[in-house]
Amino acid sequence: MESLDRIETLTAQAKPLWGKMTTAQMFAHCAEVVEVANGKELKNTPFLVKLFKGFVRNMVVNEKPYPKNTKTHPQYRQMVDRDFESEKKRLLAALEKFVKTDQNDAGKTKHPLFGEMSPEEKGWAIYKHLDHHLNQFGV
């Protein structure tokens, strides 16, 4: 998976081309997104996000890249320092679990905001999000 090679090229000292997250915070952010896709609870979703979840879902699964500095769900925000190696391992473990999920099981895990998603939609959404943040760090 080319995304794994890109992750491996990053260092704790890498600087983002936009935004304020450190590499470790980006890893934690992306891990949280994948963990939610894997079935983790999504807490404190703002009412407006729930109201416009169809619009947000479309943005997540369409082919248009995310704009820079797009707002994120409160659970995904990273405001504290994180340990680079721990968060990298966490992200890799979450991605491994996501990839190893059997196609039949993938359909059973509903996204807490978007509901049922096909394995293809889930895979694309995870790739698109990760690609956005790897591009953020120039890899």
Radius of gyration, alpha carbons of the chain: 14
Write down the pLDDT at residue 43.
96
Kindly report, residue by residue over 62-114, the tens digit of the pLDDT: 999 999 989 999 999 999 999 999 999 999 999 999 999 866 665 667 899 99
Kindly report, residue by residue over 12-64, the tens digit of the pLDDT: 999 999 999 999 999 999 999 999 999 999 999 999 999 999 999 999 999 99
Write down the pLDDT at residue 110.
85
Distances in Å between the alpha carbon of 45 and those of 32, 48, 59, 90?
A: 14, 8, 17, 23
Write down the pLDDT at residue 101.
85
Q: Residue 125 above 90 pLDDT? A: yes
Q: Domain coordinates of the chain in residue numbers?
A: 2-8+19-63+73-136
